[in-house]
Structure formats: structure tokens, C-alpha cells
């Protein structure tokens, strides 16, 4: 099967192999978001020194002789421009002309032009005493549309720093899920009203990103099983390297292989599971049968099964069924505990921070 044929292959839910690019773009957007939300980090300072020392990430051109890493992250700039917004505090870190700070969903940038905008920040548009907008200055410098947008833009108290937030997520925090959903909505692919679809179920599951990514790749026919590798002309045998009984398709690796089947039987001994030939149908059936509390474990066990199969084939490491299940459960518990600790430690309000999964009362 050629790459072109793979790119046209779709699941029954309308998901194409080509959408893998959107997912990669959303993942790269996460790194770009760290440049914006945590500019003091070592990575952000290194990239800023090298590529955008005199401007900001949202406005920087690609530049001459860019590295592969920088070129890849830079590709996500347009995505971030569509969803990044500034919450105005002191106003000293927000350029008047080149930053998305207006309360306008369609266009958060000013449309007026003046030479004085280039070297001034939003702080210059505020009164000195009561930290409110200077109406006289605003009416002198901006067109009617910009005046209306500026005057309805809230100002936080003078002690607050300017904060960047992601307007596509209610928490204000950039997530790969919301970025990918936004890209799909732009194409008219994401079905907003279908809350019962497999994809909607999957994105609602609170599981380790590594495990969710693995399942997403399996559903998108991007998992490098022996069959997929041989179809890409990689010199491997298509048979399963663990059981040698059948060709290693995605369904066989995740469900049909005796090793995988034993894991699922041990985990859910009372379930008569759907045993077709497509992983998508099996997963949809499984997620419909288990409780919402068990769904993260299903996703994490998929990851543990795939990891065990790869350890067996590529690292010559034998992993027992019990060891794989224990590994999945421990990994899930550790991730859940780390999320809880992170949220409690941050205690951030709606628009502050990077990575908190929920708001906690301060």
C-alpha cells in the first residue's frame, strides 16, 4: 500500500491518516505555547536568544538557516495566533500593535495605524491613578471599531501581570486536544453535536497523554505493526513476532494476540467482548461497557500491551501478562497523583499557569 493510498484511508468516523499532520501541529503548538506562557524557562530563553530576540514568538519570521526543530515549532505559529489572547494587567508586556489583546473573537488585533504604536505598550493607554482606560487618548488614536473593543476589554488590578491564555479552552490553558479540535473544526470535520461518537468519548477520558496518543495512532492506522511496516516496504515479516499465529494487524496487536487477549480477560473476566476485525469497533464496544472510572485504565492497558509487545520483539525482553497489567495500573495511578499534586500546588485562577487540568479555589 503506497503512502498516497494510506493518506486516503479513513475510519468509519471520518478520520483520515492525513489528519495525523493536524495532531502533530497541535503537539508542536504545545511547545510554542510554552515559549509564550513560560518565557523564563531555559528552553524558551535559548530559542528567544537564537531566533526572536527582538520580537515575540507570534510575530517572528522563520529567519535564515533555521534548524529542523525551529522550523517545526514555527509551523505552529499560525495555530497559536488563532487562539492566544492576552489578559491585560499592568499592560507593560503587551505591544499595542502586534499582540492579540482586544476582546474580539474574530480579530483580537487593533486595525488602526499610527507610528506611535510600534514602540509603546498597552500601559500607555491607561490613566495613571485609577488604572482605567484613558478615553481621551483612545478616541484620539483609534478608529471606532478599535475604540469599542478597547473600552470593553477588562483591566485586572495594578498588581497583576499581563497573562496569556488560550481562548479555545475554558480553563485558559493550551491543550493538544483543544488545538486539534480547533483545526478539525476549521475543516468542518469535527462533529460538535455528536457527544456519543468514539472520538468524543476518547477525548473526555482523563488518561496519560502517552497512552491517549498511542490509542489515537491505532485508530488512525498510524501504528507501526508488522503489517503496516511491510506495506510501507520495510523488510519485515507481517506475522506477529509474539505468537507467530497471525499477521500483526492493529486489531491483532491490541486485542487478538493471545497475550493481549489474556490481559483483557484478566482485567474484565465477566465481559463478552466484541471480537471483530477492527480495533475501532472493539474499543467503542469496550468503552461503552465499562464505567467512566474504568475508561482511563482501558486506555492505559492498551499502552502497556503495545509496550510489552515491542519489548518482546525489539528488546528481547519477556513481559508477563501480570507484569503488563501492574505496569499499566501503576503508571495510571502515578499520573493521576501527579495531576492532583500539580493542581493543588498551582492553585491558579482560570487564566494562569500551563498544564493545570482544573481550577482550584485559592
Taking only the tens place, the pLDDT of each residue in 230-270 is: 888 888 888 988 888 889 999 999 999 999 999 999 998 87
Average pLDDT value over all residues in the chain = 82
Q: Which residue has the cell 484478566?
A: 266
**Cα distance between residue 152 and residue 91, in whole Å:** 15
Taking only the tens place, the pLDDT of each residue in 200-232 is 788 889 999 999 989 988 988 888 999 888 888
Please report the pLDDT score of residue 111 as a whole number: 92
Please tell me the pTM assigned to this model. Answer: 0.55
Nearest to 338 by CA among 355, 323, 324: 355
Please name which of 252, 278, 297 lies closest in space to residue 15, comparing C-alpha atoms. Answer: 278
Report the length, in residues, of the chain: 362
| pLDDT for residue 350 is more than 90 | no
76, 117, 144, 154, 245 from 141: Cα distances, Å: 33, 9, 10, 19, 75
The owner of cell 497475550 is 259
Amino acid at each position: 500500500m503506497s503512502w498516497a493510498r494510506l493518506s486516503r484511508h479513513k475510519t468509519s468516523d471520518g478520520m483520515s491518516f492525513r489528519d495525523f499532520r493536524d495532531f502533530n501541529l497541535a503537539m508542536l503548538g504545545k511547545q510554542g505555547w510554552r515559549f509564550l506562557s513560560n518565557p523564563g524557562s531555559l528552553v524558551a530563553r535559548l530559542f528567544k536568544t537564537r531566533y526572536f530576540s527582538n520580537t515575540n514568538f507570534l510575530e517572528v519570521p522563520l529567519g535564515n538557516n533555521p534548524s529542523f526543530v525551529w522550523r517545526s515549532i514555527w509551523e505552529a505559529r499560525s495555530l497559536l495566533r488563532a487562539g492566544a489572547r492576552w489578559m491585560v494587567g499592568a499592560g507593560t508586556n503587551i505591544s499595542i500593535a502586534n499582540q492579540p489583546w482586544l476582546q474580539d473573537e474574530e480579530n483580537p488585533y487593533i486595525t488602526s495605524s499610527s507610528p506611535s504604536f510600534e514602540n509603546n505598550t498597552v500601559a500607555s493607554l491607561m490613566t495613571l491613578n485609577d488604572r482605567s482606560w484613558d478615553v481621551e487618548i483612545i478616541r484620539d488614536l483609534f478608529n471606532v471599531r478599535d475604540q469599542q473593543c478597547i473600552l470593553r476589554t477588562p483591566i485586572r488590578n495594578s498588581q497583576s501581570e499581563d497573562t496569556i491564555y488560550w481562548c479555545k479552552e475554558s480553563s485558559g490553558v493550551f491543550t493538544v486536544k483543544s488545538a486539534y479540535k480547533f483545526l478539525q473544526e476549521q475543516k468542518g470535520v469535527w462533529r460538535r453535536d455528536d457527544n456519543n461518537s468514539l472520538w468524543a468519548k476518547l477525548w473526555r477520558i482523563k488518561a496519560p497523554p502517552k497512552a491517549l496518543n498511542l490509542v489515537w495512532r491505532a485508530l488512525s492506522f498510524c501504528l507501526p505493526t508488522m503489517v503496516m511496516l511491510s506495506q510501507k516496504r520495510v523488510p519485515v515479516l507481517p506475522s506477529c513476532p509474539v505468537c507467530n499465529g497471525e499477521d500483526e494487524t492493529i486489531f491483532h496487536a491490541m486485542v487478538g494476540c493471545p497475550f493481549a487477549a489474556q490481559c483483557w480477560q484478566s482485567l474484565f473476566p465477566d465481559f463478552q467482548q466484541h471480537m471483530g476485525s477492527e480495533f475501532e469497533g472493539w474499543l467503542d464496544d469496550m468503552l461503552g461497557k465499562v464505567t467512566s472510572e474504568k475508561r482511563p485504565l482501558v486506555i492505559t492497558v492498551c499502552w502497556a500491551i503495545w509496550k510489552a509487545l515491542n519489548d518482546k520483539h525489539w528488546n528481547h525482553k519477556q513481559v508477563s501478562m501480570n507484569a503488563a497489567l501492574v505496569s499499566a495500573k501503576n503508571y495510571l495511578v502515578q499520573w493521576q497523583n501527579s495531576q492532583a499534586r500539580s493542581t493543588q500546588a498551582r492553585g491558579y485562577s482560570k487564566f494562569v499557569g500551563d498544564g493545570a487540568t482544573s481550577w482550584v479555589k485559592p
